Amino acid sequence: MKKIVYFVSVILLSTAIAAAQAEAAGSARFPGLSPHHLEILNAAKKVTAIPLPTWLPAGFKAQKVIAKLGGRVPIEDKQLVIIYSKKLANGKTQQFSLEAGFDGLGGLPYDVTKVIPTAVGKLDLMYEPKDPDDETKKIERFSMTEWFKVRKTDFHFDGMYGSNPDNPAIAMIPLADTEKILRSLRRF
């Protein structure tokens, strides 16, 4: 009986250690994620593939993960959004998101600024693109990719997540950092 209790204890301890190491490895490989966010994303990846950045500019952290997935969730209600943000010294905020699209996807009317090669495929980035209504102007404070597929799910990067372009409290992420974030995307 003592041997059985000993072996069960060893197995439970080994399982707990392995789970902690796996969580720490996920956090180290995909920076800016809290244990709570990792827990949500680990459950979500059972339903869909997820692209995450392996590089973030200093100070960026996942602010929020919204996950409404599963077989019982109607397609029009499905949602997966990972929101990262950073407070700047001047009080402004930089933020971006990676968002899954499940229903009614459409393309953007802007010319591609750059094509970024990544581990999840080539991404078409529109970073302050030309205004389609007036080619002499650019769409300021706009940064987004076209939809890209990771396994069977479409995603896009929104470099000004949730902001009105005129909101002075939100600052653009520089193009060089935007490119680095995108180049670092890997499947979670």
pLDDT tens by residue, 134-176: 888 998 899 999 999 999 999 999 999 877 767 888 999 999 9
178/77 Cα distance (integer angstroms): 29
Per-residue pLDDT band for 178 (boundaries 50, 70, 90) equals: very high
DSSP code of residue 170: B
In this prediction the pTM is 0.82
> Residue 180: how many CB atoms within 10 A of its CB?
16
Give the amino acid at 186.
R
**pLDDT at residue 27, as a whole number:** 58
